Amino acid sequence: MIGVLDLQGDVVEHLDHLERLGVVSRRVKEPSHLHDLKGLIIPGGESTCLSRLIKIFGMDTAITEACERGVKIWGTCAGAILLATRIVGEKPYLGLIDMEIERNSFGSQLASFAATAAIPRVASKAVPLIFIRAPKIRSVGPGVEILLQLDDYIAAVETADILATVFHPELTNNLAFHRYFSRKCGLTAEESPPLADPTWTPTSWTRHSRIAASV
């Protein structure tokens, strides 16, 4: 099972992608929800807000301990910021992957953009990338593998236990990164639907919001 940290940010979008792959998932709101997980996704959102909520709900220590016992962790955008050991101009938060990251490196919200890139480790074809007030990974330490470098910055990295992307795979119809992370967690992700899911729409994730509201 893969958990999605449900304190702030793109929670339902990740749940939607995992469901399409047939991967069992759940929302994670408190330390007890980390029990029996194989992986945890820390979604994009607002990193300062998310870091405060993580501390308030006691998730900072719980996430670190989960990582130490083998739970794989994937941080997207704000989640990647929280995982870094070094953040330009401020103190780190969880510090679980040896890299330096810089917040809001592209400028304001208006500087958000979409692109595509080949990431052979993740997929055989180029995948779409969505950057929203994205950070840039400036450097990595020993043992951290670069999955994607664009121009003067690094956009995706990993270790045996951690995956970090500065973009948002959950905001596209492409399932490649979620399949890659699921397999990194030792889980079997369905071969169908194809990596570019033709049934996906930009509002597909709203069904998860409706389900949560009815519970």
Catalytic residue among 13, 14, 17, 77: 77
Q: In whole angstroms, what is the distance from residue 143 CA to residue 172 CA? A: 29
Work out the number of other CB atoms within 10 angstroms of the CB of residue 71.
19
Q: In whole angstroms, what is the distance from residue 49 CA to residue 176 CA? A: 28
Domain that holds residue 206: 2-214
Instruction: Please state whether 106 falls in left (phi above 0), alpha (psi between -120 and 50) or beta.
Output: alpha
Measure Cα distances from 57 to 25, 30, 45 in Å.
20, 6, 17
Across the chain, which has 215 residues, the per-10-residue mean pLDDT values are 95 94 95 96 92 94 96 97 96 97 76 89 94 94 97 95 97 94 91 71 66 45
Positions of E strands within the chain? 2-5, 25-28, 39-42, 72-76, 84-87, 97-102, 113-117, 127-131, 136-140, 145-150, 153-158, 162-165
Q: What is the CATH number of the domain that holds 168?
A: 3.40.50.880
Burial of 31 (0-12, 13-18, 19+ CB in 10 A): middle
Q: In whole angstroms, what is the distance from residue 72 CA to residue 67 CA? A: 6
Burial of 213 (0-12, 13-18, 19+ CB in 10 A): exposed
Please indicate whether residue 158 is annotated as part of the active site.
Answer: no
Work out the number of other CB atoms within 10 angstroms of the CB of residue 152.
8
Catalytic residue among 170, 178, 185, 208: 170
Please indicate whether residue 17 is annotated as part of the active site.
Answer: no
Q: Decide: 122 and 130 in contact? Cβ < 8 Å.
A: no
Supply the pLDDT for residue 110: 61
**Cross-strand pairs, 162:** 73
Q: In whole angstroms, what is the distance from residue 135 CA to residue 46 CA? A: 11
Supply the pLDDT for residue 104: 77
Please indicate whether residue 67 is annotated as part of the active site.
Answer: no
Q: Give start and end residues of each alpha helix (H) in 69-175.
A: 78-83
Structural domain tally of the chain? Answer: 1
Catalytic residue among 13, 14, 158, 168: 168
**Cross-strand pairs, 157:** 146, 164
Q: What is the pTM of this model?
A: 0.90
